Chain A
Amino acid sequence: MLAIEAKKLTKEFQVYQSRKGLSGAFRDLLNREYRTIRAVNEIDLSIKPGEMVGYIGENGAGKSTTIKMLTGILQPTSGMLKVNGYDPHREREKFVRTIGVVFGQRSQLWWDLAVQESFQLLQKVYRIPHEKYEPHLKRMIDVLNIQELLDQPVRKLSLGQRMRCELATSLIHQPSLLFLDEPTIGLDVLVKEDIRQFLRDINQELNTTVLLTTHDLGDIEALCSRVVMLDKGNIIYDGDMNRLKREWGDGKRIVLETEREYELSELLATTEGLPVEWEKKASHTYEIRVPGDQVQVPEVLGRVIERGIAIQEMQLEEATAEEIVRKIYQEGMTID
């Protein structure tokens, strides 16, 4: 059974169209014009149990709407949707027992109460038997390092502390599928790393399926082997991260700092026959662009050193996921 299976999943919203000016506002009072917006347009998605999938797209691309359909909050306008074998909206109460959700921008803990009170309530809500609840919770408390936070009211926690508690909350009933909507938003690097490590661990140990939306592509690079990219309600890419990099990353860049200034033609001669480009960045700094897979970085560097170019310092740069995504949205996607 697939963890998530969607066919031609579509969500449309009716929005008010405001007319212009004062007379328009009066006319709006009497009769409003509606416009239909298609937030998610016939997407197909299938995710196997145990996969960690990154779901990315610009603001307004339809990510949140998809997540809300997958979690049963919104009813799809049309299309087929099965998550963990359930129809999320129609069988909501049964279905939500099998999923965990973290909304980075919304807390699901009780703001004025100590963290452990929220945990205790959820134990009752999910009817988790005591002998199963205790060891599982204890482990999460250890791994997420939230022991000292348990008796503090949620409003006194820092964002990073709160987010660790949110993660524990979402996993308290050991769901097989976890939705994370911007889980690392606003967190510092160390906390981010902790959270990523934790997610990797639960994925490996419990085979938890994870669907992650984020603006921080670092999360996706660290966690997901598969990326689904959304633009204006359509899936424009569904595949592995490395392929995306290979095809859109424009290869690698080598930045060289040399001991003395060279003529560009002198340098060009060193890599004759290789499909690389040179560029002078500053008086002692040069950049070599190494495209795609036709040529390897060591080969290029070997040639340069062989010809006696005195290198002081060297840096290897690769397009970040961020740059790739920006590029795709700017230029439009042409790969399948």
Chain B
Amino acid sequence: MIRMYAEIIRIRFLMMLAYRVNYYSGILIYSLNIGAYYFLWTAIYGGQGSINGFTALQMATYIAISWMSRAFYFNNVDREIATEIRDGTVAIQFIRPYNYLMVKVFQSFGEGIFRLVLFSVPGMFLVSLIFPIQLPGFGWIWLKFALSLFLGFVINIQINILVGILAFFVLNNQGMLWAKRMIVDLLSGLTIPIAFFPIWAQWVLKALPFQAISYLPSVVIVKDLSGSAFWGAVGIQAMWCVLLLIPIQMIWNKARHTLVVQGG
């Protein structure tokens, strides 16, 4: 079992290497994004010490960390699942003695690790040379961040799977996929930290799973959370990991029984 999943991760590594150009252009796009948001926020701060509890330095660090985290948790598994359902290749997956969704999770994990090691870490180093950001030194905080980031990854992939398997019922869900992408980027705090939303919106966002993908892990490291603040954040993430399993399992069971294979 573990060996099979390890093999799936290895295969994904190989596939990522087969698409090297994507990988290089990814680095460029992420650097540009970090640069653009950095200058935007510098302009907004305009010399002010602190806004909504974030100092300018923390804000710069937040931008760099959240984009580099995105490189880890982001994947196109929603699109892949939807495509496989639409063109019928999902049938091939059903003749294998494994759980299709688990395979997708591990594929994405392989992809995430690939990008974390070969993209985020060197990217972070590069960014820290160009922009004045402040990262904590070696210590427990990185381990706490890793845990929180991992949970963010799990929640993101759960949402992706959820949207992807809706293709069983709505055979063309391209629009839904685009909307989901925008929603996740905006509501997860990637473009604007949750603390910058109006109070009422903060209440709403804190009740949604998206902030647990990006905002919480980034805050853990930027604000150096500890004690109950840290465990509170991780607790919310863990809760979403469990809660999201329910709709996935329900839709998946229904889909398995009503499966129609497209194209003969």
CB distance from B255 to the nearest CB of A (A): 11
Residues from chain B with Cβ under 8 Å of A97 in the complex: 97
Known A73-B259, A93-B98, A120-B7: A106·B92 in contact at CB below 8 Å:
yes
Residues from chain A with Cβ under 8 Å of B4 in the complex: 121, 124-125, 127
Question: Which residues of A in the span 117-135 have a Cβ within 8 Å of any Cβ on B?
Answer: 117, 120-121, 124-127
Residues from chain B with Cβ under 8 Å of A73 in the complex: 91, 94-95, 259, 261
**In the docked arrangement, what's the CA distance between A11 and B188, Å?**
44
Question: Which residues of A in the span 124-169 have a Cβ within 8 Å of any Cβ on B?
Answer: 124-127, 153
Known A106-B92, A125-B96: A74·B15 in contact at CB below 8 Å:
no
Bin the interface of chain A by size.
20 to 34
B157 lies within 8 A of chain A by Cβ:
no
Q: Across the interface, do A112 and B15 meet the contact criterion of CB distance under 8 Å? A: yes
Question: Which residues of B in the span 93-124 have a Cβ within 8 Å of any Cβ on A?
Answer: 94-99
Residues from chain A with Cβ under 8 Å of B95 in the complex: 71-73, 96, 99, 101, 108
Residues from chain A with Cβ under 8 Å of B7 in the complex: 120-121, 124-125
**In the docked arrangement, what's the CA distance between A110 and B256, Å?**
23
A103 lies within 8 A of chain B by Cβ:
yes
CB distance from A168 to the nearest CB of B (A): 16
CB distance from B20 to the nearest CB of A (A): 12
> Chain A's interface: helix, strand, loop or mixed, by majority?
mixed
Known A68-B261, A74-B261, A127-B4: A92·B15 in contact at CB below 8 Å:
no
Compute the total of residue contacts between A and B using a CB distance below 8 Å: 70
Q: Which residue of B lies closest to A60 (CB)?
A: B264
Known A74-B261, A103-B91: A126·B97 in contact at CB below 8 Å:
yes
B129 lies within 8 A of chain A by Cβ:
no
CB distance from B259 to the nearest CB of A (A): 6
Residues from chain B with Cβ under 8 Å of A113 in the complex: 11, 14-15, 18
Residues from chain A with Cβ under 8 Å of B6 in the complex: 124
B8 lies within 8 A of chain A by Cβ:
yes
CB distance from B182 to the nearest CB of A (A): 25
Q: Across the interface, do B92 and A125 meet the contact criterion of CB distance under 8 Å? A: no
Residues from chain A with Cβ under 8 Å of B19 in the complex: 112
Q: Which residue of B lies closest to A155 (CB)?
A: B18
**In the docked arrangement, what's the CA distance between A124 and B96, Å?**
12
CB distance from B53 to the nearest CB of A (A): 46
Q: Across the interface, do B88 and A106 meet the contact criterion of CB distance under 8 Å? A: yes
Scan A59-96; emit 1 where CB is below 8 A from any B CB, else 0. Answer: 00000100010011111000000000000000011101
CB distance from B72 to the nearest CB of A (A): 22
Residues from chain B with Cβ under 8 Å of A92 in the complex: 94
CB distance from B165 to the nearest CB of A (A): 16
A13 lies within 8 A of chain B by Cβ:
yes
**In the docked arrangement, what's the CA distance between A297 and B148, Å?**
84
Residues from chain B with Cβ under 8 Å of A105 in the complex: 264
Scan B68-101; emit 1 where CB is below 8 A from any A CB, else 0. Answer: 0000000000000000000011011011111100
Residues from chain A with Cβ under 8 Å of B260 in the complex: 13
Which of A75, A99, A101 is in CB contact (< 8 Å) with B257? A75
Residues from chain A with Cβ under 8 Å of B264 in the complex: 64, 105
Scan B140-183; emit 1 where CB is below 8 A from any A CB, else 0. Answer: 00000000000000000000000000000000000000000000
Q: Which 6 A-B pairs have the closest CB atoms?
A: A124-B7, A124-B4, A112-B18, A73-B94, A101-B95, A93-B97
Task: Give B residues with C-beta under 8 Å from A.
Answer: 3-4, 6-8, 11, 14-15, 18-19, 88-89, 91-92, 94-99, 256-257, 259-261, 264
Task: Give A residues with C-beta under 8 Å from B.
Answer: 13, 64, 68, 71-75, 92-94, 96-97, 99, 101, 103, 105-108, 110, 112-113, 117, 120-121, 124-127, 153
Given contacts A13-B260, A72-B95, A125-B7, 17 further A-B contacts (CB under 8 A): A68-B91, A71-B95, A73-B94, A74-B261, A75-B259, A93-B97, A93-B99, A97-B97, A106-B92, A107-B92, A108-B92, A108-B95, A110-B15, A117-B11, A125-B4, A127-B3, A153-B18
